[in-house]
Structure 1
């Protein structure tokens, strides 16, 4: 439960609201189909509410759901306040400046990242976004999004740099990043850009909320070989269960399915145990810098 709603972000209010609405529905013994039939909604509308995907939540929609679920007056008022926050405030990535260069899937990622207390990230192909330098980001997006013009690329880079604020401040995000050794040797943007990128990782790894490990080639086969993934964890572990995020060339998407979460948590824990510790991993990064 959010203790200070007025200072809470819209992203957190949407996520908390969606989780509590879903729990109320389950407690009432209702399926999604039954609810949307009662309200004459599309199935996707209820799904978006329960997953916190809507930028704005209408208080009238929350009231209607609370009545169907039999929520008491106190709970109804609280959920209405969550919805009201989404109408009064906007998350920074919802501004017109960024809207055109952020996909729907990545908006979901930004919302989860902004509200999570801890992130576990395995990356096999490139440096994780929160650890990237501006030059590295620019090269990646010039190659991956060749349809974007220079102004749009600037906006994408700005998004990447702005989101790194979650690593700083009063309650910084706890980031545990495990990187395939191949990432260290792939010269994105050439030797100079890559050397600066690796130096940045070494520097930022000294922060108490950041842990970085490298999966070396000599380890052979390992639990991360099926691809990159991100696990988001939240302070309210009862109401907000961990969520998995995946990404490909088309877009990104999330999974809340308990089986998916368990498999990826197990894979990450295994990678953490198999990979060298942070200090030895930093030595691998410094060695790659010297080779450049």
Structure 2
């Protein structure tokens, strides 16, 4: 169990080590080709030290990695978008904590996201009014200008659902998410309408876990599983708490949370029934 920056370094190092082995090079040979000491390559591969995006590019070139998607992912883990520029969220560095920036970076690079929500609507599906009400409640005493910025970021994140290809989102929502009146009746009504719209998107699979399901494996709290298109070795589970985020990347952790999510999907309503259920709550049924 590690914090975001540490797990990103470890994941990047492990993938670079695998790519080096694939190329048939030893760590010493790779170091000589880029003009480094062998110990630098070892520190990068074990995740004990950070690595600049420019150094990652050098290694990828030496290893003969030409797949643009894989290169972009490696550079994102190193803190770059792969083109030497900045991602959109870099403009908010003074407002967003590092753990949140890490989360957004992973979200933007992931091919798929599975999430269990027990209290609030997932950020990617929130309306502006709902996002404002949730953020105001979560960040006590937040000034209006900072609140505006945080909501702006929340809405900007939703671009991943409209990307080409879009992020594939699978969400299981506890019924409490739909029943909790956030921001008042009008705000909640519009939010439920937004969920119905989102549930009809081909890249979104939305399921409701009704109260009648009773106690379930998700009662311990919400979680997110990110999966990446180039390699499953970079998949990660994210757990949020009040002051930070924790990243789980051991294979046994990923397996446990994947199995838990599969179980939740089995006990939840089907996507079709969930859509009707959400619409019924919105209609006051």
Task: Report the TM-score when normalising by structure 1.
Answer: 0.76
1:154 aligns with 2:148: yes
- Give the drift of 1:88: 1.5
Structure 1: 5+ residue stretches without partners: 1-12, 31-36
- Give the drift of 1:127: 0.4
Deviations 1:179-208 (A, max 9, x none): 000111100111111111001100121111
Give every structure 1 segment of 4 or more consecutive aligned residues whose post-TM-superposition deviation is greater than 6 Å.
Answer: 13-16, 24-30, 76-79
Whole-Å Cα distance in 2 between the matches of residues 205 and 15 of structure 1? 35
What residue in structure 1 maps to residue 31 of structure 2?
none
- Give the drift of 1:151: 0.8
Superposed, 1:251-270 pairs within 5 Å as 251-270=244-263
What residue in structure 1 maps to residue 231 of structure 2?
237
Superposed, 1:1-292 pairs within 5 Å as 17-23=12-18, 38=39, 46-47=47-48, 49=50, 57=52, 59-60=54-55, 73-75=62-64, 82=75, 86=82, 88-95=84-91, 98-238=92-232, 240-291=233-284
Deviates more, 1:277-286 or 1:258-267: 277-286
Give the superposed CA RMSD: 3.5
Equivalent position SS for 2:207: strand
- Give the drift of 1:291: 2.5
Equivalent position SS for 2:166: coil
Kept in 1, the 8 Å contact 2:115–2:171? The answer is yes
Equivalent position SS for 1:175: strand
- Give the drift of 1:29: 9.5
Kept in 1, the 8 Å contact 2:112–2:227? The answer is yes
Kept in 1, the 8 Å contact 2:132–2:147? The answer is yes
Equivalent position SS for 1:194: helix
Kept in 2, the 8 Å contact 1:14–1:86? The answer is no
Whole-Å Cα distance in 2 between the matches of residues 151 and 256 of structure 1? 36
- Give the drift of 1:223: 1.5
What residue in structure 2 maps to residue 34 of structure 1?
none
Q: Number of paired residues?
A: 258
- Give the drift of 1:76: 8.8
Q: 1:113 to 1:38 in 2, by over 3 A?
A: same
Q: 1:137 to 1:75 in 2, by over 3 A?
A: same
What residue in structure 2 maps to residue 33 of structure 1?
none
